[in-house]
Homo-oligomer: A and B are copies of this chain.
Amino acid sequence: MLKEKIYRVVNKGAHGSKYNLVFDYGIMLLIILNVVALAIGTVPEIRIKAGGFLRIFELISIIIFTIEYLMRLYVADLTHPSSSQVKSIFKFVFSGYGMIDLVAILPFYLPFLIAVDMRFLRLFRLMRFFRLMKLNRYNSSLNLIWSVVKEKRSELAVTGFVSVLILLISSFLMYDVESKIQPDKFPNIFATFWWAIATLTTVGYGDVYPITAVGKVISSLIAILGIGIVALPTGIISAGFMNKIDKKEASEDACPHCGKEINRKL
């Protein structure tokens, strides 16, 4: 049956056929080439010389992506089983990956429907890149990282809140200290906030920096606190990863008293 065959081609899984592998890597390659095309399209020399070629490549890509999307719509009742075909299509269209697939082709058809900003379109086209995430659909690593971050979100949020407090207080202090001496570099709190973030994250571009003694003392304190702001989330996340490993191991433990297996999820 045709539907069965298409399903096997477009859907990765335990029943992954050779055709699916070829299809998957082909689509992946096309996505990467599309992102590369988007990137080199911003270089004026290339846009002048190879602009036509890039547009043709874009057109071919969109045709392939559209065909793929239609194929996925066609087999929606197999990938998203439900009481009716329409419901299955809806389920697919509004699923996470379904949305990404749509967003990847929408920017091409949108100008035919409504007037849109070209820059806005480019960002939408970039969304195709998210499709590479599909590679990780069965990837336990992404889930592990995500579960650690989610489990520790409360501690990470507190660290974030304390960081914002430090940034705010140092910005206001710095503004009082430096705005008179360097009114062009520290004209208002927002400019000072920009300096504070560059210092706390230890980026230190060097476009703004204090020149007064008091300003340098404040800046030094922020830079030192920056180490703590790196150390805290790292420590929290390290503990989170360790904990996950411990739990996994613990679930294979046995009680030393009665010898029975302890299959608990701590």
Residue of chain B at shortest CB distance from A217: B194
Determine if A233 and B233 form an interchain contact, defined as CB atoms under 8 angstroms apart: no
A89 to chain B, nearest CB (A): 28
Give the docked Cα–Cα distance between A145 and B162 (Å).
11
0/1 string, A226-266, CB within 8 A of B gives 1? 11111111111111111111100100101111101011111
- Tell me, rounded to whole Å, the shortest Cβ–Cβ distance linking A31 to chain B: 12
Given that A234-B235, A235-B148 are contacting pairs, would A43 and B190 also be in contact in the complex, using a CB cutoff of 8 Å? yes
Chain B residues closer than 8 Å to A227, beta-carbon distance: 201, 229-230, 233
Q: Does A123 contact B (CB under 8 A)?
A: yes
A94 at the interface (CB under 8 A from B): no
**Is the Cβ of B129 less than 8 Å from the Cβ of A168?**
yes
A188 to B249, CA, bound (A): 49
Contact A172 B123 (CB under 8 A): yes
Asked whether, in the complex, the Cβ of A254 is within 8 Å of the Cβ of B263, the reply is yes
Number of copies: 4
**Binding site of A, secondary structure by majority: helix, strand, loop or mixed?**
helix
With a cutoff of 8 Å between Cβ atoms, the chain B residues found around residue A165 in the complex are 129-130
Interface residue ranges of A132-171 to B (CB < 8 Å): 132, 136, 139-142, 144-145, 148, 154-155, 157-159, 161, 165, 168-169
A256 touching B266 in the complex, CB below 8 Å, given contacts A39-B189, A235-B237:
no
- Give Cα distance in the complex from A209 to B140, angstroms: 37
Whether A119 is near chain B, meaning CB under 8 Å from some CB there, is yes
Nearest B residue to A204 via CB reads B203
Q: What is the interface of chain A, defined by CB distance below 8 A to chain B?
A: 35, 38-40, 42-44, 119, 122-123, 126, 129-130, 132, 136, 139-142, 144-145, 148, 154-155, 157-159, 161, 165, 168-169, 172-173, 175-176, 179, 187-190, 193-194, 197-199, 201-207, 209, 213, 216, 220, 223-224, 226-246, 249, 252, 254-258, 260, 262-266
Please name the 6 residue pairs, one residue from A and one from B, whose CB atoms are nearest each other, closest first.
A235-B237, A256-B256, A239-B241, A206-B206, A203-B204, A255-B255
